[in-house]
Amino acid sequence: MDHTDLYINGAWVPTDDRFDVVNPANEAVLASVASAGIEHADAALDAAEAAMADWAARTPRERSEVLRKAWELMTERRDHFAHLMTLENGKAGVDARGEATYAAEFFRWFAEEAVRADGLITHAPVSGARIMVQHKPAGLAVLITPWNYPAAMGTRKIAPALAAGCGVIIKPASETPLTMLALMPLLEEAGVPKGLVNVLPTKRTGPLVDHMLHDPRVRVVSFTGSTGVGRTLLKSAADQVLKPAMELGGNAPVVVFEDADMDTAIEGTMLAKMRNLGEACTAANRIYVHADIAEAFTKRLAERMSALKVGDGTDPSVDVGPLVNAATRDKVADFVADAVAKGAKVECGGKLPEGTGYFYPPTVLSNVPEHAECVQDEIFGPVAAIQTFTDQDDVIRRANDTEYGLVAYVFSGDFKRALQVCERLDYGMVGLNRGLVSDPAAPFGGTKQSGLGREGGHEGMLEFMETQYISASW
Ligand code: NAP
């Protein structure tokens, strides 16, 4: 591996304290990565502060052109990043290439947004003063990302932060720090000034992040990960009243009505379930199928799931790679055992394979009871848990009956009914006759305990900006 040290102020910084990154397909150590301490966090904050002064003063067009160049370079080198993600995360080539393209697109989108930080000027209705509104860079941002999308969860934060004029420190997930480190030379080549973006892998995650969130120069904390860690960070962020952007967990329902086009519903459910082998906050977690079509739907889904080839993601014929680590794989196996013990039927898969690597087969469960753990909790693996319904109001109630509110999916041929159902779903995003909602041009984010704020779209850059209003007379 080329880059395994900390990246601070445009330089590679080795440390004595290091940790291993493991390839989940063969359990072999891929790299030994530097682990940042408090002194490195301070150095990164100093570097980001110094670089931000110049960067924020540049014209939006200059910032935009650097981001555009980053998109071009990342698109050119898509296969390099895809391969690295397969090695450290395990995802199959098709998922890895999809992620690399998606990750690069955030640079293109925010290159376009950088020049569109709209303001407002208007008359105050009573006093007659002018109300002038503008957006300014919020300050240094600490970005914390998960292992399931090692590139895209980083670029979804870096690109809007840079577009807004902010300097950043990124703490990538310990399972997958290599992709973010590999992105740094590309950003340098694109023209990102040294010090503006710093990467700090660490094994002392809690204390290191907490230290940065108490530095008075930091104004934004942007986190993607589990709801539990999100709560901890919100508490920590409260001390300095930081701007929080929280992309947290999900428990996505899929609702398939009896009037849905069966091909569309199967394709959409496959995508919602199996993109990134189910290791996605947007993954279909609870699949509610109308009783009239449940048998046919289940049979077709099981046929499609059992036809997927499982193996090392570096093999181009493989559809499904290993899960990221043994704990994630074991949790998936436990969910299946729990559901079966409570009355679910295994339609395909469901058997933990022997041998090396954290593999779990694509699995379809039918007749899953409401109190099964996989209905209540995020599965984060290749298990499709099917339940049935007959009544529209009842299925909407069940779909909303969770503390999460990230994304829901609806399949119906009756557009009027489908839109009425979408509006009653308490979710930040809904896929209607589609199994994929993620798009750099759309506001990604959830309601309830799935998070605060939005990434992508027009909203994404505003997460890194403060609104200033000037009351003026002339
Ligand atoms: P996680 O355990 O919450 O970890 C995410 C990041 O937080 C990692 O970088 C981790 O570092 C760091 N972290 C852990 N404890 C911390 C602490 N006390 N203080 C500060 N940072 C801390 O989540 P994960 O297992 O990597 O990812 C899976 C979760 O992410 C799922 O719940 C999924 O739904 C969610 N997710 C949400 C979205 C979204 O957009 N809503 C997207 C993707 C994933 P270490 O690796 O060093 O522990």
Helices in 285-414 by DSSP H: which ranges? 294-306, 326-341, 373-376, 392-400
For residue 234, give the nearest of 246, 225, 226 by alpha carbon.
246
At 228-241, the pLDDT tens digits run 999 999 999 999 99
Q: Is 255 in the pocket of ligand 1 (CB under 6 A)?
A: no
Residue nearest to atom 30 of ligand 1 (CA): 225
Choosing from 88, 105, 175, 247, the catalytic residue is: 247
pLDDT band at 294 (very low <50, low <70, confident <90, very high): very high
Global pTM value: 0.97
For ligand 1, what atom is nearest to the CA of residue 149? 43
Q: Is 75 in the pocket of ligand 1 (CB under 6 A)?
A: no
Residue nearest to atom 39 of ligand 1 (CA): 247
Residue among 223, 224, 279, 437 whose CB has most ligand 1 atoms within 8 A, to mutate: 224
Instruction: Say how many Å lie between the CA of residue 366 and the centre of ligand 1.
Output: 30
CB 67 within 8 A of CB 162: yes
In sign, the C-alpha dihedral spanning 196, 197, 203, 204 is positive
Q: What is the structure's pLDDT at 97?
A: 98
Average pLDDT, the chain: 98
3-state DSSP helix/strand/coil % of the chain, to nearest 5: 40, 25, 35
For ligand 1, what atom is nearest to the CA of residue 406? 41
pLDDT band at 2 (very low <50, low <70, confident <90, very high): confident
Q: Is 82 in the pocket of ligand 1 (CB under 6 A)?
A: no
At 185-197, the pLDDT tens digits run 999 999 999 999 9
Using alpha carbons, list the distances in angstroms from residue 3 to 78, 285, 405, 424.
17, 36, 37, 48
Q: What is the structure's pLDDT at 174?
A: 98
Residue nearest to atom 40 of ligand 1 (CA): 247
CB 85 within 8 A of CB 96: yes
The yes-or-no answer on residue 188 being catalytic is: no
Instruction: Say how many Å lie between the CA of residue 270 and the centre of ligand 1.
Output: 25
- Percent of the chain's residues with pLDDT above 70: 100
Q: Indicate whether 435 pLDDT > 90.
A: yes
At 297-312, the pLDDT tens digits run 999 999 999 999 999 9
Q: Is 176 in the pocket of ligand 1 (CB under 6 A)?
A: no
Instruction: Say how many Å lie between the CA of residue 23 and the centre of ligand 1.
Output: 19
For ligand 1, what atom is nearest to the CA of residue 174? 46
Residue nearest to atom 47 of ligand 1 (CA): 174
At 192-219, the pLDDT tens digits run 999 999 999 999 999 999 999 999 999 9
Instruction: Say how many Å lie between the CA of residue 146 and the centre of ligand 1.
Output: 4
Q: What is the structure's pLDDT at 32?
A: 98
Q: Which two tokens stand for residue 292?
A: 């009239």
Q: Which two tokens stand for residue 7?
A: 């990246």
Q: What is the mean pLDDT of residues 312-317?
A: 97
For ligand 1, what atom is nearest to the CA of residue 328? 25
- For residue 335, the surrounding DSSP H or E stretch is helix 326-341
Q: Is 174 in the pocket of ligand 1 (CB under 6 A)?
A: yes
pLDDT band at 408 (very low <50, low <70, confident <90, very high): very high
Instruction: Say how many Å lie between the CA of residue 228 and the centre of ligand 1.
Output: 9
pLDDT band at 459 (very low <50, low <70, confident <90, very high): very high
SS3 451: strand
Neighbouring-strand partners of residue 244:
221
Q: What is the mean pLDDT of residues 249-269?
A: 98
The yes-or-no answer on residue 247 being catalytic is: yes
| CB-based contacts of 306, cutoff 8 Å, min separation 6 | 348, 349, 362
At 146-169, the pLDDT tens digits run 999 999 999 999 999 999 999 999
Q: Is 232 in the pocket of ligand 1 (CB under 6 A)?
A: yes
Q: What is the structure's pLDDT at 66?
A: 98
DSSP β-ladder status, 168-171 and 197-199: parallel
Q: Indicate whether 1 pLDDT > 90.
A: no
Q: What is the structure's pLDDT at 414?
A: 97
Pairwise CA distance, residues 153 & 281, whole Å = 11
Q: Is 247 in the pocket of ligand 1 (CB under 6 A)?
A: yes
Residue nearest to atom 17 of ligand 1 (CA): 206
Q: What is the structure's pLDDT at 401?
A: 97
At 16-27, the pLDDT tens digits run 999 999 999 999
SS3 414: coil
Q: Is 178 in the pocket of ligand 1 (CB under 6 A)?
A: no
- Kindly list the structural domains of the chain, giving each domain's residue range(s) and its CATH number in brackets, ordered by start: 6-248+450-472 (3.40.605.10), 252-439 (3.40.309.10)
Q: What is the mean pLDDT of residues 276-286?
A: 98
Q: Is 157 in the pocket of ligand 1 (CB under 6 A)?
A: no
